[in-house]
Amino acid sequence: MKGIFLSTVAITALSAGVAAADYTLHVLHINDFHSRIEPISGSDSTCSAEQAAADECFGGVARVATKIKELRDSLTEAGENVIVLDAGDQFQGSLMYTTYKGAVEAEFMEAIGFDAMALGNHEFDDGPEGLGSFLDKVTFPVISGNLDVSQSNVLAGRVGNHVVLEVGGEKIGIISALAMDTPETSSPGNSVIFQDDIDSLKADVATLEAEGVTKIIALTHVGLPRDLQIAAAVPGVDAVVGGHSHTYLSATDPARHGPYPTWVTRGEGDLVPVVQAYAYSKYLGHLELTFDDAGGLIYAGGNTILLDGSVEPDAAIAARVAELAGPIEELKTRVVAEASGAIDGSRETCRAGECQMGNLVAEAMLDRVADQGVTIAITNGGGLRAGIDAGPVTMGEVLTVLPFQNTLSTFEVTGEAIVAALENGVSQYEEVAGRFAQVAGLKYSFDPTAAVGARVSDVQVLVGGDAWAPIDVTATYKVVSNNYVRRGGDGYSMFVDAANAYDFGPDLADVTAEYLAKNLPYQPFTDGRITRK
């Protein structure tokens, strides 16, 4: 183990600061930006003009630019050392990505001046070609140490395992890893080979240490639970800056998911800080690390910074955003429905149980194909990316909820396959995984404390439109989902060989908008169709 590691006493005294710093590094970081180029509302969807006028907006790339420039300039002028990192998932989540396919994200990251980026799973949503186009447009290193891209004619030689940044006369090693289930959650293709994340990180640490690099940060896109395991398992890592789980860590906010930083004890007592800064441009993370002469971490502190109305958007970038928004403004602002209350589509609810947005989308899917004899709808909670505020509902809001351009898929499977699908949905409950099943025409209970594969019970199907009956595992049912799930995404392999599959129905966002318009004003609801035991 290297250096002199923090003691419990040192953690307790973090707020007191460090009397004499050998080398201090400030890490400004974001994660899971998800194309929130424009400011967002409290429900994480694009902020409306009315909300902007009422000062109810957060984030947006122009605020991110302002706060990074403000901190970087002031710290640099004070003689401090600063790097700016992105922990992945710039892609997917708004009309800006749907329209420009990563070009605007690249443009603004270049303008802000990021020093390094970790690949997120959604960087593969348009395959290696979509990522390759993004790489064409950026000059900073994009890394992921547990990927072998040597067989890809698009990515070979373009995604590094790690990078060394020279800051203030010191070498800072940045290593990285991407969630190993990315082939199930995105579209990297067969030419991108995934390796064990912890093994690859250990190998990259060894490589950097052999080169004399003593300060090493893991910039990851694997989610907080895995980050905590990485911090405990990989000697030589001084801090972990993560993404993927959209976790809000804070040193001061009681509404946080955990403290900033969150501390992990490794080996004989080494203490490793782990940080993350929620998602969607709402916060900027600011991690301060101090190392001794031997490269040992002796201090870590910091916090997430809320990018609310007190942060003035960068004028030049805001003007460019407005220019880019022009061609899509009519579609984005078109009112398609009315909601009598806010429709909850939050990650925390839709990946952990029945949620209002899950019911809306599943019912909309089922309504569209009910005349085809389809009686069950199953969709993945991870496909729901935002909520919708009460009042007028715009097409822009619907597309923010459902940005993936997924199409309706109909198919036939046995009751046994449906139960297996529900088991898959709760198999990663602890990780708040996107595979959690939202349903219509179906009821089920689950026990997250039971063994994986035996968590689901009391599965019932709607019969005749008004009666519930236990599912028949030997019977065949007609099901509707989205084309991503039907083709095995999010672990739904039991649907891949389904009978009479048709994956080319209408866009799920259009289906949802039309269903909302048929049910005015739409009243958000839950009705107990999914029960946690």
DSSP 481-529: EEHHHHTTGGG-GGGTT-EEEE----BHHHHHHHHHHHSSSB-----SS
Distance CA 350, CA 459 (A): 19
The verdict on 189 and 144 lying in the same domain is yes
Query: Do 93 and 176 belong to one domain?
Result: yes
Confidence band for 506, pLDDT divided at 50, 70 and 90: confident
In this structure, what is the dihedral angle of CA atoms 195, 277, 379, 417, given to the nearest 10 degrees? 40
Residues 404 and 318 reside in one and the same domain: no
CB atoms within 10 A of CB 110: 13
Same domain, 261 and 318: yes
Indicate if 417 and 513 belong to the same structural domain: yes
Is the residue at 522 inside a domain? yes
Report DSSP state, residue 45.
S
Geometric angle at alpha carbon 229, from 223 and 231, rounded to 5°: 100
Q: Examine residue 8 and state whether it is found in any structural domain, yes or no.
A: no
CATH of the domain at 225: 3.60.21.10
CA-to-CA separations, 284 to 29, 33, 250, in angstroms, rounded: 6, 11, 11
pLDDT at position 21 is 52
- pLDDT(496) > 80: yes
Q: What is the mean pLDDT of the chain?
A: 93
Predicted local distance difference test score (pLDDT) of residue 5: 38
Per residue in 250-292, pLDDT (tens digit) is: 999 999 999 999 999 999 889 999 999 999 999 999 999 999 9
**Does residue 18 sit within a domain?**
no
Please tell me the distance from the alpha carbon of residue 483 to that of residue 497, in angstroms, as a whole number. 13
In CATH, what number is assigned to the domain containing residue 509?
Answer: 3.90.780.10
The answer on pLDDT for 434 being more than 60 is: yes
pLDDT at 33 over 70: yes
Query: Quick check: is 2 in a domain?
Result: no
Would the pLDDT of 18 be above 50? no
Residue 194 lies in a domain: yes
Distance (Å, rounded) from C-alpha 410 to C-alpha 390? 31
Does residue 302 sit in the same domain as residue 355? no
Q: Give the pLDDT mean for 118-128.
A: 95
DSSP state of 125: T
- Based on the fold, state whether residues 81 and 182 are members of the same structural domain: yes
* Range name among 49-58, 256-265, 335-344 with the lowest pLDDT average: 49-58
Both 354 and 491 in a single domain?
Answer: yes
Q: What is the pLDDT at residue 108?
A: 98
pLDDT at residue 242 is higher than 50: yes
150's CB contacts (< 8 A; 6+ apart) are 156, 157
Q: Are residues 258 and 359 in the same domain?
A: no
Q: Are residues 312 and 345 in the same domain?
A: no
Would 122 be classed as within a structural domain?
Answer: yes
- Verify that 389 and 300 share a domain, yes or no: no
For the ranges 38-42, 98-102, 144-148, 267-271, the one whose mean pLDDT is highest: 144-148
Expressed in angstroms, the distance from the first to the final Cα of the chain is: 44
pLDDT exceeds cutoff 50 at 385:
yes
Domain end marker among 275, 295, 322: 322
pLDDT, tens digit (0-9, with 9 covering 90-100), for 442-490: 999 999 999 999 999 999 999 987 899 999 999 999 999 999 999 899 9
Last residue of a domain, one of 257, 291, 322: 322
pLDDT digits over 74-96, tens only? 999 999 999 999 999 999 888 89
Q: Is the dihedral of CA 220, 61, 383, 131 positive or negative?
A: negative
pLDDT at residue 231, rounded to an integer: 98
% of residues, the chain, pLDDT over 90? 85
Report the distance separating Cα 495 and Cα 412, nearest Å.
9
Report if residue 3 sits inside a domain. Answer: no
Same domain as 426, residue 362? yes
pLDDT at 95: 85
**At which of 301, 322, 343 does a domain end?**
322
Domain contains 6? no
pLDDT tier for residue 19 given thresholds of 50, 70 and 90:
very low
Q: What is the token pair recorded at 321? A: 């955003």
Residue 3 above 60 pLDDT? Answer: no
Q: What pLDDT score does 93 carry?
A: 82
Range of the domain at 494: 335-532
- Alpha-carbon distances of 246 from 103, 174, 176, 223, 451, rounded to whole Å: 23, 21, 17, 8, 26
| Per-residue confidence (pLDDT) for residue 6, from 0 to 100 | 53
C-alpha distances out from residue 227 to 39, 114, 224, 407, 462, Å: 29, 22, 5, 34, 42
Distance CA 299, CA 291 (A): 7
Total domains, the chain = 2
Residue positions counted in the chain: 533
Nearest alpha-carbon partner for 365 in 477, 505, 184, 466: 505
